[in-house]
Amino acid sequence: MRKVPMIKKIFLFLIAGVSLLLLIAGVAGVLLRGGEKARESLSALRLEATLRITGKGAMQAYVDAAKKEASDRARAEKKTMSELREAVSKAEQDALASMSFDDVDISMIDAAPVTRAIDSLIQARMAYVNEEAAAQQAYLAQLTPDPMESSPQEPLPDELGEGMIEDIQAQPADLTKKLEGFQPTAEMLRLQAEVDDRYAGLTQALSLVYPNLSGDVFAMFKPAITSLVYMYGDTYESAYDRMLTSGGGPGLSGLDALIARVIRNGDDLIYLAVSLVIVCMVVLYNKPLIKKLGPPRLIIGSFFVLLCLISLLFDMNLQALLSNTLVRVGMNGVLVLAMVPAIKCGISLNLGLPIGVIAGLLGGLLCIEYRLTGWVGFAFSIAVGSAIAALFGYLYGLLLNRLKGSEMAVTTYVGYSFVSLMCIAWLVLPFQSLELRWPMGGGLRNSLSTSTSFLRLLDNFLAFNVLGMKVPTGLLLFMGLCCYLVWLFFRSKTGSAMQAAGSNPRFAQAAGINVDRMRIIGTVLSTVLGAVGIIVYNQSFGFIQLYNAPRAMGFIAASAVLIGGASTSKAAISNVLIGSFLFFGVLTLGMPVANTLLPQSMISETIRILISNGIILYALTKSGGGTRG
Amino acid sequence: MGDWNVKTFLRNNAVTLMFVLLCVVFTAYSGMSPAYVAFELISRIARNGFIVLALIIPIVAGMGINFAISIGAMAAQIGLLWVLEWRITGITGLVVAAGITVPLATLFGFLAGKLLNKMKGQEMIGSMILGFFANGVYQLLFLFIFGNVIPLNTPGLVIKGSTGVANTMNLSGPAQLLYALDGLLRVRFELPGSSPAASGGTAGQNTFILPLLPTFYVLAGLAAAAALSMYLKKRVSLTKFVVIMSAAVLAVVAVQFPAVQSVFSMLSLPVATFAVIAALCLLNVVLLRTRLGQQLRAVGQNRTVANASGINVDRTRIIAIIISTVLAGFGQLIFLQNIGNVLTYGAHEQVGLYAGAAILVGGASIARATNSQALLGCVLFHLLFIVAPPAANTLFGDPGIGEYFRVFVSYGVIALALVLHVWKGAKAKKVIRAAKGAQGI
């Protein structure tokens, strides 16, 4: 057992104590949500909010009356327009001053009848809302069998690839559109009448409080108040938030307010407690953790946990975000995997991955050109892409064999110049399909939809929902299959020879292994995986992106595998899995969280630049140097 | 030069020769008038020359092309931001910006040097990634610190409703930083047989008009006299003397033709800028002759030997990067005062790439570079930039191809130079090994 310093001990005890307190409070809060106390506090808030809304109306009515009186009097005295205006505004100010809104002291009013009226309104409203939801559900169910209606409405991701996050928010608008033809049922109308009836009861109770309110004003407040008291799928949290935004805050005071707040934020308190426990653990075990994981993984892992917690604190849909992460991991996984054979065969990080990517793109383009669809198209793209990639990879490997020792700088620029060369090629290649070409002028489009070929084929294969998360089974299975094949390859005779050639070329040469041949095989494998990877990426992303889009692919894949714990000379399949999850998890969670914390900012993009390049720099500093001084 | 032959010459200058050929072909097909090409070229050399020269010291120190000079450019842009905020105008503003750039670039260069010392042998990819990383830090600074944490008051620097510094910082207009250096002293030429007004010359402020022919005679005479005195003092070889003399004579003869004269019709030489560039060339030469210069060279040739002979290798390398970063900052200031507005989030991004490509085009390698290679590279590379789009339009009917072509050339030339360099190194090793084998070692 290591000795823990005194200060650290005190710090740990403090944190542990705080987290225990938070945990107890949080659990109590969550448990109390269905209880009597919760109902009481909500009812007090509701009363306050209702009175506030109507109180505002009452004041407005009073002021209006004063204004009207002033203007009538001025008109009777035949004053000029400007004098009249002055008189009216003076009357308004007087009225406002004489009857400040806060003067309506709610504790002085006999609230019991109002509370009773609100309770009965809630009952009616609840029945109505539930009936409405059921009826709409039935309506939608009867709509969906029409396949022509729903299938072309696939939400289209935008250029930057953040589309998957957008489409969560796009759904409500979609729903309203579909519900356009919806007619209320007879049962709904009956329940609505009941609601109206109860509302009339409430107005009676309220008019005792505010005698100067007319029927018109009550009619005006009807939608506001009925939707205030109950909404579909209401929980304690949503009701509490709604009451607070409607001005119900002062309804509770002192201890009651605190208890209500604890009940409302119970889950957040639990999350905080958990995160404090994690902090404790990290502080206590930081040395072994750093040794085991290395600082980058520890930092990025904690960042990932932090993002999860923040998204929970802001009541974001963590399940949706996590299932997006899974999709991202699946769609980029094969590209990340492409780094493994490259690192193992001794050419270090394959920053020339765009070469493989372009081969894959060519496969995808040919698939669209020949109008192949579904699994056939997907298999065709992979086959053609791999074949082209194998050719490119072979030539690329020949080049790399002449450049032993400084591959990375060269591969980067070879990759870059190949991408720009292909930019010219995209302009002149003789593709015919109008799906690919601009209708006017020459050249292929910037991004081509895969909706006619193999859109989300893998994503939707055997996909299922669990705990509110959509799991893209096919995508993950495919990635798993690729990982398994690569793993299997490195267990084979060629594979082990390649590893030997990569880790110690001279020794391998002496042992009779053809190092150059092994390097070529590794490069070809990496390039082919790049081609397969981009097709998987495209089928999930929904678009094939040409021109400068492939340029960054090598860096993204390299950062991911390095975050997973690989170095420039060592890599394993586990690095791919861990790295993909952490890197793409941080990217997927980072954007919505950043947008909540700092709206309209580019900070998530900045963070991506920092993480992605920072990890490569870190790997480079570990790659040697220094000793050769 | 006993073993000089065509084959080795071709091999050693493959990149440059290829570029000369490309430039000739593209200029022929571009359909642009020589006067316009010359005009564009001169202004491009004036604004890009300095930053290309900033690459020489790290190459001499054996660190390859310092793609992290974009960090120096970022320091310069920070300086410009504050000059704009304090509303210091004209050449004073530029000097103050340079004054801010020096400490910032020194600090950044120090940090970059420290980092690059940890990745010896991988400096080029390292400095490239470092440039990307620094861009992230720069964005953090300009999006979230300036204009938010540190308020900016000058209108136009911050746009309401968006975070951070505006996308462009305007140097023209009230800032008066446009042509702050270029405009100090300009020279135009008066063609024989035409009045200054007819040659399109509006003799603006600080602009001098010189008659073309006498200027040429004087310059050629000066060059010849200098060569002669150098030769008599035995500072230059006979071949070089003959070459310079014949070049002077050739220039004097050529300038008699109206076609050649017309090339100078649009020129407006920013003399002050060229003087600064010349000063940097001189600095490079002088610096490499000092003790520090010797150390830089020793480290560049062989770190182990340098270390054994008592040179602090790491320190020397850091100094090289600091010098390069500071100079790059000045270079970016010269570039921006000519352009007239700063793309806040983009102006620094391609600096390393274009400068690196230019110096390689001039025949430098990642282990050896001189002033003349940098300047020649600058001329060729930017000539291609000018003529590629119109030439591609004539040849392929699509100016877009020219755009992509010049990007391809920038990356391709770096890739090619790297490949050739590693190749040569491998071959040299093989020759040594073969020689050793022959001796039976």
Write the pLDDT tens digit of every residue in A216-240.
667 767 777 777 767 766 677 777 7
pLDDT at A601: 66
Mapped onto helix, strand or coil, the DSSP state of residue B373 is helix
Regarding whether B401 and B296 lie in a shared domain, the answer is yes
Q: Left (φ > 0), alpha (ψ -120 to 50) or beta: where does A551 sit?
A: alpha
Task: Please give the share of chain B, as a percent, with pLDDT higher than 70.
Answer: 93
Q: In this complex, do B404 and A420 lie within 8 Å of one another by their Cβ atoms?
A: yes
In a domain, residue A401? The reply is yes
- Chain B residue with the nearest C-alpha to that of A611: B133
pLDDT at B55 over 70: yes
Regarding whether B99 and B43 lie in a shared domain, the answer is yes
Q: In this complex, do A613 and B303 lie within 8 Å of one another by their Cβ atoms?
A: no
pLDDT at A91 over 60: yes
Q: In this complex, do B415 and A414 lie within 8 Å of one another by their Cβ atoms?
A: yes
CA-closest candidate to residue A335, choices A537, A121, A566: A537
The mean pLDDT value for A10-31 works out to: 82
Regarding whether B228 and B274 lie in a shared domain, the answer is no
Chain pair A-B, CB pairs under 8 angstroms? 146
Q: Which chain A positions have a beta carbon within 8 Å of B418's beta carbon? A: 403, 406, 409-410, 413
pLDDT at A99 over 70: no
In a domain, residue A545? The reply is yes
pLDDT at A567: 80
Token match 């604004």: residue? B47
Regarding whether B301 and B246 lie in a shared domain, the answer is no
In a domain, residue B1? The reply is no
Q: In this complex, do B132 and A351 lie within 8 Å of one another by their Cβ atoms?
A: no
- Within 8 A by CB and 6+ apart from B386, the residues are B30, B32, B37, B40, B41, B44
d(CA B129, CA A610): 10
In a domain, residue A4? The reply is no
In a domain, residue A332? The reply is yes
Contact A166, A157 (CB under 8 A): yes
| CATH number of the domain encompassing residue A609 | 1.10.3470
Over chain B, what HEC string results?
CCCCCHHHHHHHCHHHHHHHHHHHHHHHHHCCCHHHHHHHHHHHHHHHHHHHHCCHHHHHCCCCCCCCHHHHHHHHHHHHHHHHHCCCCHHHHHHHHHHHHHHHHHHHHHHHHHHHHCCCCCHHHHHHHHHHHHHHHHHHHHHHHECCCECCCCECCECCCCCCECCEEECCHHHCCCCCCHHHCEEEEECCCCCCCCCCCCCCCCEEEEEHHHHHHHHHHHHHHHHHHHHHCCCCCHHHHHHHHHHHHHHHHHCCCHHHHHHCCCCEEEHHHHHHHHHHHHHHHHHHHCHHHHHHHHHHHCHHHHHHCCCCHHHHHHHHHHHHHHHHHHHHHHHHHHHCEEECCCCCCCHHHHHHHHHHHCCCCCCCCCHHHHHHHHHHHHHHHHHHHHHHHHHHCCHHHHHHHHHHHHHHHHHHHHHHHHHHHHHHHHHHHHHHHHHCC
pLDDT at A441 over 70: no
In a domain, residue B122? The reply is yes
- Within 8 A by CB and 6+ apart from A145, the residues are none
Q: Which residue has the higher pLDDT, A586 or A29?
A: A586
Regarding whether B274 and B258 lie in a shared domain, the answer is no
In a domain, residue A384? The reply is yes
Q: Which B residues, 157 through 216, put their C-beta within 8 Å of a C-beta on chain A?
A: 162-163
pLDDT at A157: 36
Give A458's pLDDT tier (boundaries 50, 70, 90).
confident
Contact A270, A23 (CB under 8 A): yes
pLDDT at A95 over 80: no
| H-run or E-run covering B235 | none
d(CA B54, CA B330): 9
Phi, psi of B138 (to 5 degrees): -60, -45
Regarding whether B78 and B168 lie in a shared domain, the answer is yes
- Residue A124 has, within 13 A of its CA and on its CB side, a CA count of 22
In a domain, residue B145? The reply is yes
Q: In this complex, do B126 and A620 lie within 8 Å of one another by their Cβ atoms?
A: yes
The distance of Cα A554 from the centroid of its chain, to the nearest Å, equals 24
Regarding whether B368 and B422 lie in a shared domain, the answer is yes
B122 CA to chain A: closest CA distance, Å? 7
Mean pLDDT across chain B, nearest whole number?
A: 84
pLDDT at B220: 86
Regarding whether B371 and B233 lie in a shared domain, the answer is no
Mapped onto helix, strand or coil, the DSSP state of residue B211 is strand
Regarding whether B182 and B210 lie in a shared domain, the answer is no
In a domain, residue A466? The reply is yes
| CATH number of the domain encompassing residue B144 | 1.10.3470
Mean pLDDT across chain A, nearest whole number?
A: 76
Regarding whether B222 and B278 lie in a shared domain, the answer is no
Regarding whether B427 and B305 lie in a shared domain, the answer is yes
pLDDT at A624: 57
Name the residue range of residue A429's domain. 312-623
In a domain, residue A569? The reply is yes
Instruction: Give yes or no for B372 touching A (CB within 8 A).
Output: no
Dihedral of alpha carbons A52, A58, A61, A63, sign: negative
Q: Which residue has the higher pLDDT, A341 or B13?
A: A341
pLDDT at A330: 87
Give A169's pLDDT tier (boundaries 50, 70, 90).
very low
The mean pLDDT value for A303-318 works out to: 79
Residue ending a domain, choose from B238, B263, B288: B263
Name the residue range of residue B239's domain. 192-263
pLDDT at A172 over 70: no
- Chain B residue with the nearest C-alpha to that of A612: B133
Q: Which chain A positions have a beta carbon within 8 Å of B422's beta carbon? A: 402-403, 405-406, 410
Report how many domains make up chain A. 1
Q: Which residue has the higher pLDDT, A503 or B399?
A: A503
Q: How far is CA B43 from CA A288, B33, B75, in A?
A: 60, 16, 24
Task: Please give the share of chain A, as a percent, with pLDDT higher than 90.
Answer: 6
B409 CA to chain A: closest CA distance, Å? 7
The mean pLDDT value for B215-229 works out to: 86
Q: Which residue has the higher pLDDT, A483 or A148?
A: A483
Phi, psi of A564 (to 5 degrees): -70, -5
Regarding whether B399 and B383 lie in a shared domain, the answer is yes
Q: Which chain B positions have a beta carbon within 8 Å of A403's beta carbon? A: 418-419, 422-423, 426
- Within 8 A by CB and 6+ apart from A298, the residues are A282, A289, A290
pLDDT at A212: 64
Report how many domains make up chain B. 2
Q: What is the pLDDT of residues B407-420, one digit of tens each?
A: 888 888 888 877 87
Whether the complex's predicted ipTM surpasses the cut of 0.95? no
pLDDT at B27 over 60: yes
Option in B120, B129, B396 nearest A613 (CB): B129
pLDDT at B364 over 70: yes
Residue ending a domain, choose from B214, B246, B263: B263
Q: How far is CA B281 from CA A210, B56, B274, in A?
A: 88, 10, 10
CA distance between the termini of chain A:
40
Residue ending a domain, choose from B215, B232, B263: B263
